[in-house]
Amino acid sequence: MAGLKGLKKKRRIQIIVAAAIALAVSTGLIGYAMRDGINFFRAPAQVAENPPGPREVFRIGGLVEKGSLVRGQGETVTFNVTDGAASIPVRYTGVLPDLFKEGKGMVGTGRLVDGVFQASEILAKHDENYMPKEVVDALKKQGMYVPPDGSGAPGS
């Protein structure tokens, strides 16, 4: 009988160790798979202050700076995105959303290469009342946020 109890205890420990190893391996694989899928939002002032490396994919958001939108050859567009404290040049090749305009909110996904944000995706606000929370917070911090209904001026 004593041998049977020892065998059960040994088997239980083996199962617990195997489960712990499987959990550690699966957690590592999930983290590895998501390393490029997690995009952190940054305001232009944060990007200017602490520029990320050219391989880091991140999201930048703010207002499209008035007078900065230039349409190039084909579908290439350049413009600046600002939060009032800093302005970052953006280059995008593709079709812009219909609601994309100067002075309006946008969020782009891409990389910062030689001081220019190379966007792979551009999102514009989808109606008069929507702007990503992170963009609103960054604009409020800089005193540039104007509510969609027009009440209140920048800095209020």
Per-residue pLDDT tens digits for 98-109: 888 888 888 999
Q: How confident is the model at residue 75 (pLDDT cuts 50, 70, 90)?
A: confident
Q: What is the rounded average pLDDT of the residues 82-91?
A: 91
Confidence (pLDDT) at 13: 94
Cα 101 from Cα 85, distance rounded (Å): 20
pTM above 0.75, yes or no: no
User: If you classify domain 41-142 with CATH, what class do you get?
Assistant: mainly beta
DSSP states along 96-134: PPTT--TTSEEEEEEEEETTEEEEEEEEE-SSTT---HH
Per-residue pLDDT tens digits for 7-31: 888 999 999 999 999 999 999 998 8
The per-residue pLDDT of the chain, averaged, comes to: 82
